[in-house]
Structure 1
């Protein structure tokens, strides 16, 4: 009797020969667990870690929710040909979808949206570039980034965007992050240069990254007439920030970040530039060489010294 009963159970059939569904087989076997606040918090933290560690957030959302999550794609929002009215409608729609998705995943919507925007910034920056080590965006990249930042401003205005999480996500794509993109984030009020730089866990590493990119910016300023205005504005803003923050005496008590971080970065970059220039002079670099162009651009920018040299620079 027992031998004849086992096959029926394994095949999912009841004694009458009717095949039972898995839901019926499992009914009554799963005990409902009582709500545990501590366990719920751990699950929430695990979900946040999964979002932050996943390389492709859109792919992760598809894994969780299926094809319907394709509606969360930002491709339409950053479409250069989309009209302003359509872009606003798309921002509202995607913002609503993000809120729903965050609710289902059990994570703050600000973290979810920050990861998605950072991922899109990375995709824009990794598009085909004009130079081997670019710091400037192409015209097409600049248009797409502008549309994306409009969407980010919408999220900020509706308290659906975490600045801190966004900064952390950006540094994960540091190797592909273009300096001009960082500058636009500052100018458009998404995250300030100071806020972004201070969020990096390694001040020496971020100083090295800045120095390398600023050298490339100076070198490309004279080689590119198409982006000259943008490059000059970038260099001016960076120099003003370095001088203002590097030699300030009174720390801003309103800041929530550690006050010693920013002077550490700015002084590090200024020292690197000074040593670079002194080494170039000692080596007797030839005029019109890349090194000569960098030194000339940094210390004698077109149009004379920046306003901060006369003590008139303003924060941010």
Structure 2
């Protein structure tokens, strides 16, 4: 038994007695493995789930690649006050970096970029706790959002952005998502209001969320806020969309497919608004109260 010899390959030593690294030991085994499409898809799905569940995408990328991934942060692009040429250069640079990172992670670049843009939207929407519930952006927030949406449009134009993934990521931050952001996303063609609402898994919950935000919007219109003109335009656009989508005629009554979710949400919100107004009138709310202001604004734009 004492004459037994362990081969160099098993002992982890290479020619000349040099101990090989783990990468060298695994290299031979990896080469012998045949490509398995099913296994590759499972790995890709796992990577996508990891991206979607991670709270801080920038931190996750740093864990994967180390400090160089700081270049993927959108903060400099959002905060820049430079020329349009500079913004376009930054968009191109970050887009290229996103493609490289998606390739390393083995995930679609559209999913990766959607998660990063949604995370940046959440940062833009962050407001001090003492300000209470708001639906409008400040001047600084609006400026940052404008730069961010320009970058999102660049990604869309180059087929590097998943609308569905973006919508799903936005609902994760719905408690801080400002209604004005939703409006800008719709108006600028990033994702339509219909895409966003229909991506929510719970139609009753999204109807309640939209109703609360619309009530807050009406109240802010009547308080002569700094951006009342933006608020009035928003409310008019929302009401117009609701009327068009909530009362549209079914072109084919023989259809057996599942009805669209958007009309269901719209009808739910309009019913909530009507009940709210009727209850307020029945209760005889005091003039200039928050409830009275909400009812007055909603009636003026209906």
Same fold (TM over 0.5): yes
Contact 1:208/1:269 (8 A) holds in 2: yes
How far apart are the structure 2 equivalents of 1:257 and 1:156? 30
Moved more, 21-30 or 56-65: 21-30
Counterpart of 1:4 in 2: which secondary structure? coil
CA displacement at 1:28 relative to structure 2:
5.8
Q: Residues 129 and 9 of structure 1: is their aligned pair in 2 closer, same or farther, counting only changes over 3 Å?
A: same
Contact 2:78/2:147 (8 A) holds in 1: yes
Matches within 5 A, 1:162-173: 162-173=162-173
Counterpart of 2:131 in 1: which secondary structure? coil
Unpaired runs of at least 5, structure 2: 297-301
Q: Residues 198 and 23 of structure 1: is their aligned pair in 2 closer, same or farther, counting only changes over 3 Å?
A: closer
| Structure 1 residue aligned with 2:74 | 74
How far apart are the structure 2 equivalents of 1:97 and 1:142? 26
Q: Residues 229 and 129 of structure 1: is their aligned pair in 2 closer, same or farther, counting only changes over 3 Å?
A: farther
Contact 2:222/2:294 (8 A) holds in 1: no
How far apart are the structure 2 equivalents of 1:215 and 1:196? 19
How far apart are the structure 2 equivalents of 1:153 and 1:20? 48
CA displacement at 1:84 relative to structure 2:
1.5
Q: Residues 59 and 269 of structure 1: is their aligned pair in 2 closer, same or farther, counting only changes over 3 Å?
A: same
Per-residue CA deviation, residues 259-293 of structure 1 (Å, 9 max, x unaligned), is: 43111101100100111111111111000000000
Q: CA RMSD in A?
A: 3.4
Contact 2:124/2:145 (8 A) holds in 1: yes
How far apart are the structure 2 equivalents of 1:81 and 1:192? 28
Q: Residues 130 and 217 of structure 1: is their aligned pair in 2 closer, same or farther, counting only changes over 3 Å?
A: farther
Contact 1:251/1:259 (8 A) holds in 2: no
| Structure 2 residue aligned with 1:104 | 104
Moved more, 95-104 or 252-261: 252-261
* TM-score normalised to structure 1 length: 0.84
Moved more, 50-59 or 247-256: 247-256
Contact 2:186/2:192 (8 A) holds in 1: yes
Q: Residues 163 and 254 of structure 1: is their aligned pair in 2 closer, same or farther, counting only changes over 3 Å?
A: farther
User: Whose helix proportion is higher, 1 or 2?
Assistant: 2
How far apart are the structure 1 equivalents of 2:146 and 2:244? 28
Per-residue CA deviation, residues 111-142 of structure 1 (Å, 9 max, x unaligned), is: 11111101100111014378300111111100
How far apart are the structure 1 equivalents of 2:149 and 2:18? 59
Contact 1:91/1:151 (8 A) holds in 2: yes
Per-residue CA deviation, residues 151-188 of structure 1 (Å, 9 max, x unaligned), is: 00001111111111111111111111000000010111
* TM-score normalised to structure 2 length: 0.88
Contact 1:285/1:291 (8 A) holds in 2: yes
CA displacement at 1:222 relative to structure 2:
2.1
Q: Residues 26 and 60 of structure 1: is their aligned pair in 2 closer, same or farther, counting only changes over 3 Å?
A: closer
Contact 1:207/1:265 (8 A) holds in 2: yes
Moved more, 2-11 or 228-237: 2-11
| Structure 2 residue aligned with 1:254 | 254
Counterpart of 1:2 in 2: which secondary structure? coil
Contact 1:76/1:82 (8 A) holds in 2: no
Q: Residues 287 and 252 of structure 1: is their aligned pair in 2 closer, same or farther, counting only changes over 3 Å?
A: farther
Contact 1:115/1:166 (8 A) holds in 2: yes
Q: Residues 14 and 266 of structure 1: is their aligned pair in 2 closer, same or farther, counting only changes over 3 Å?
A: closer
CA displacement at 1:32 relative to structure 2:
3.1
Counterpart of 1:190 in 2: which secondary structure? coil
Counterpart of 2:225 in 1: which secondary structure? coil
CA displacement at 1:217 relative to structure 2:
0.6
Counterpart of 1:201 in 2: which secondary structure? coil
Contact 1:210/1:269 (8 A) holds in 2: yes
How far apart are the structure 1 equivalents of 2:216 and 2:170? 20
CA displacement at 1:24 relative to structure 2:
6.4
